[in-house]
Chain A
Amino acid sequence: AQSVSQHNHHVILSEAASLELGCNYSYGGTVNLFWYVQYPGQHLQLLLKYFSGDPLVKGIKGFEAEFIKSKFSFNLRKPSVQWSDTAEYFCAVNPRDSNYQLIWGAGTKLIIKP
C-alpha cells in the first residue's frame, strides 16, 4: 500500500537553528508533493508544493523543500527558524494516476524555544 513516512514526530529547536524535516513516500510512479502546516489553533494550510521542474521548491515564510526522486524523499528545510514556526507540519503525496487522492504522513510537531 502507498504510504508517507515522516521520520520525527516531535522536534524541538532553539530560535535561529536550522531545520530539516524528513518525508519519504512509497510509490513508484509520478507524484505531486505537498507540505502543509497547522499553526496552534488554526486550520491546515499549504506551505509549498512540487509538481514538476526544479526539484528545489520555495514556499512561504522562508521554507523550501527538495524532491530527490531516487530517494523518494521530499524534505522540508529552513535555514533559521523563528518562534512563530512552532506548528505541526504534514507531508502529503498525490499519485498522478489519481487526480485527487492525497496520502498524508503522520505529521511532525515542531516546537521552537524562544
Chain B
Amino acid sequence: GAGVSQSPRYKVAKRGQDVALRCDPISGHVSLFWYQQALGQGPEFLTYFQNEAQLDKSGLPSDRFFAERPEGSVSTLKIQRTQQEDSAVYLCASSFSGGSTGELFFGEGSRLTVL
C-alpha cells in the first residue's frame, strides 16, 4: 500500500505478557518515529530512527520498551512484561527526511489494552 501500515490494529494483553507492534513505513522514507498516545492526550514521542540507526530513544518510558529497525524499513516496538499503564495507542510515523522539515505520515495506530 501507499501509506504507513501498522499491525496489529488492536491488541489485548494480560499484564505481564510481552507484545510486539509492527510498523511498515512508506517505501524510501528515511525517518521513522514511534509515539504513544494516551486517551485524551496528544502523541508523546518514544523513539526516532534514521534508516536503521536509532538516534533517540529518550522517550521510551522504561527498559521494558525496545524498538528496532534492523534493515532501515520495517520497525518493531516491543514491550516486555506489559503493565496496565502501557495501555495506549501506539503510533508510527515516517518521513522522507528529518521530521522537522518534512511532513509526517502516520499509520492508523495499534491500540494496546493491558488487562
**Residues of chain A having any CB pair with chain B under 8 Å:** 4, 9, 32, 36, 42-46, 49, 51, 90, 92, 94, 96, 98-102, 104-107
Contact = CB atoms under 8 A, between A and B. Distances in A.
Given A44-B106, A100-B100, A107 B48 contact: no
A4 to B, nearest CB: 7
B98 interface: yes
Contacts of B43: 44, 90, 102, 104
5 contacts: A43-B109, A46-B104, A100-B55, A101-B100, A106-B40
Nearest to A91: B42
Interface of A (DSSP majority class): loop
B106 A45 contact: yes
Nearest to B92: A43
Nearest to A38: B106
B45 A102 contact: yes
Contacts of A51: 101
Given A4-B42, A101-B45, A105-B42, A43 B106 contact: yes
B101 A32 contact: yes
B107 interface: yes
Interface in B76-103: 91, 93, 98-101, 103
Contacts of B3: 43
A52 B93 CA distance: 24
B100 A96 contact: yes
Contacts of A45: 105-106
Nearest to A107: B42
Given A99-B98, A100-B56, A43 B40 contact: no
B61 to A, nearest CB: 16
A72 to B, nearest CB: 17
B108 interface: yes
B104 A9 contact: no
Interface in B17-65: 31, 33, 40-45, 48, 55-56
Contacts of B48: 100
B13 interface: no
